[in-house]
Amino acid sequence: MRNSDKEYIFAGHKLLFRVIKPHIVDQIISTARVEDIIDDYVNLNRRGTNLVGLCPFHDEKTPSFSVSPAKNIYKCFGCGKAGDSITFLMEHEHFTFPEALRHLAQRYNIEIEEEERSDEQKELQQKKDSLLLINEMAAKYFTSQLKETEEGQTIGLSYFKHRGLLSHTIDTFGLGYSAQSYDAFKAYALNLGYKEKLLQQLGLISASGNDFFRERVIFPFHNLSGKVIGFGGRILKDNVKAPKYLNSPESEIYNKRKTLYGLYQAKGAIRQSDSCILVEGYTDVLSLYQNDIKNVVASSGTSLTPQQVGLIKRFAGNVIVLYDGDTAGQKAAQRGLNIFLEYDINVKIVILPEGHDPDSYIQMIGAQDFKNFITNEGRDFIILLAQDIEQLYSDNPIEKSVQIKELVNSLSLMQDQIKRQLYVKQCAQILHVEESSLFQEINKMIRTRIKKASYKRPKQVPTEYNPPEANIDFDPNADHSQRIRGMGSDNLDYQERDVVRVLISDGDKIHNEEAQESIGLFIIDNLKDIMEMISDPLHKQIFEEYHTLLNNDIVPDRQYWLRHSNQDIRALALSLLSDKYTYAKWSEKGLELQTQKPIEENYIKDSHQALLRYKLKKVKERVQELQRLFDQQEDDKRDIVLLTAFQALIQERQTLANKLKMTVM
């Protein structure tokens, strides 16, 4: 909706568009496909007519995130997040609405026509975009220093070439160099008009005012959409007290616990292979990627976190952990193993020969032999742990029992019971213990974990539905799922809710070709006489608004309700359009429905059935009401008018039931 001041209302945001022309906004919104956008962030699999995957907004092990290409929306049935492609970018990437529009316009090659912006708008836009813009500027600066200066070529580029990196790899990952000067970058950035306070906030300038990454080669960190969110810097001098690696401090756009180095470049290969190779260092990633092993990421110098494992799980169900052949590397792998198990990820570990890391080893034996090595030497880590316990502690029962309990703790975290049983059987054989003993310890640990979780779980407070208020400010981060889950519960009208669903979902479709009558007009015409009987205030508001729009020759579509200025109507529309249960796509299985149209095309019958069920419900309510009145009157004093109305309602009830092929009780 737009008014004469070009105020565009989207998901409750009131924005004055004096930047992107309104007709371009409409073109972008209508062109963008939600499944295309989300597929960059979530590994989606077909389930009937919808696509499903792990929700990117909360940690989960079982997919509850559903994308509907037909409706062009997404919905998580776990956390309640829902919306379209623009909403997704705003919530996941923290884009402003204009930023999301520009991102989609670039993706779909839509030329943006802009109107003149005021100085105030330019300043506001700069503030919102400042952190990402500064990092983008810094990344270009570091790249130019590497390639275009004598110092960068002599020191930085020589180092990368010495490590065997080719120009294509350097360009793909945006590698760079920061000069020896104490303030070369600072002077460059300030000269461009960037504020020193923000440069310090991003860690590009130290608190003392010097360049933070000076005299280091630079490794940019990217988010899943390719934006530079931070940097890693490696010093090249030996025998210095400075740390070998420095990373950007955490900021509004960079969280090291939620970042995997190389994931932006690797996500396509990870999804395609359903496998992710996890290494320790930046150069390990670069070297493997350059040798056509592209499904590789690094944990960016941190211990593996649940957020990082959750990122991997979005794209693959299998992980191969490559670590140096030292004890520290193996222990690091074991700490991360439990997180993989909790996320139901199959994990193998490959121990490299002593003295080698992935970079040095692939350069020594070559790409093909390295691939063969991973395939042949990859060992299931649970089985490997069991074998190590038996080998190292078979003569020490006390220490062996301690190690077995550590192994049992890992087994107890497995979500798949069948998988767990198979592992228990194998581990029992390796360790020479009874399966029942392992299961007993596993069950004890699971019960303890559940008990601890119950202590931490907050009490559930019943949510009551309140009638909507006009012009409510919309919080894009708010969770309205609890409020909407209450709609359609026992105290409300399922049949009424279903009619609202048809109005929102299919109201703009044609019901009668000859008369060019829409589904919405058909429903509203059939509900005029019982409009006052609508029980839910929000439903009534939708019916009345629909009636008003039709009187003005406007037939609203789904997007009208999904972008309504009332947050409760938006949330209800998303809830009604997001069906947790999907129909199988029989045509893909070589089968076709023989007796009726496919579900998504059968909207005329769907609207008839919904309307009949609702009218039958209301007629039954009226019959029960009149029956109570009759029960209060003596037989010879019953009102003849009421009796006539009662008999007419009985007949109408039977007629409606017959149309629905139902038996009236």
pTM: 0.60
Asked whether residue 202 carries a pLDDT value surpassing 50, the answer given is yes
Contact 10, 563 (CB under 8 A): yes
Q: What angle do CA 537, 539, 542 make, to 5 degrees?
A: 110
DSSP 274: T
Confidence of residue 142 (pLDDT cuts 50, 70, 90): very high
Q: Please enumerate in sequence order all residues whose Cβ is within 8 A of that of 79, keeping only pairs 6 or more positions apart, or say none.
A: 55, 57, 58, 479, 481
Confidence of residue 7 (pLDDT cuts 50, 70, 90): very low
Q: What angle do CA 358, 363, 366 make, to 5 degrees?
A: 105
Confidence of residue 73 (pLDDT cuts 50, 70, 90): confident
**Is CATH 3.40.50.2300 the right assignment for the domain spanning 257-368?**
no
Average pLDDT of the residues in 126-138:
80
CA distance 129 to 108: 22
At 94 the pLDDT is: 72
Ranges 308-322, 552-566, 578-592, most confident: 308-322
Contact 135, 185 (CB under 8 A): no
- Residue 229 in tokens: 């969110």
Average pLDDT of the residues in 634-662:
59
Confidence of residue 591 (pLDDT cuts 50, 70, 90): very low
**Is CATH 3.90.580.10 the right assignment for the domain spanning 7-119?**
yes
Determine the 3-state secondary structure of 616 from DSSP. Answer: helix
Note the pLDDT tens digit of each residue in 212-259: 999 999 999 998 888 899 999 999 887 677 888 899 999 888 889 889
What are the residue ranges spanned by the domains of the chain? Answer: 7-119, 120-254, 257-368, 378-459, 479-581+596-665
In CATH, what class is 120-254? alpha beta
* Average of per-residue pLDDT values in the chain: 77
Confidence of residue 457 (pLDDT cuts 50, 70, 90): very low
CA distance 406 to 452: 19
Asked whether residue 596 carries a pLDDT value surpassing 60, the answer given is no
Contact 303, 258 (CB under 8 A): no
Q: What angle do CA 317, 171, 204 make, to 5 degrees?
A: 90
Is the model more confident about 556 or about 625? 556
Confidence of residue 210 (pLDDT cuts 50, 70, 90): very high
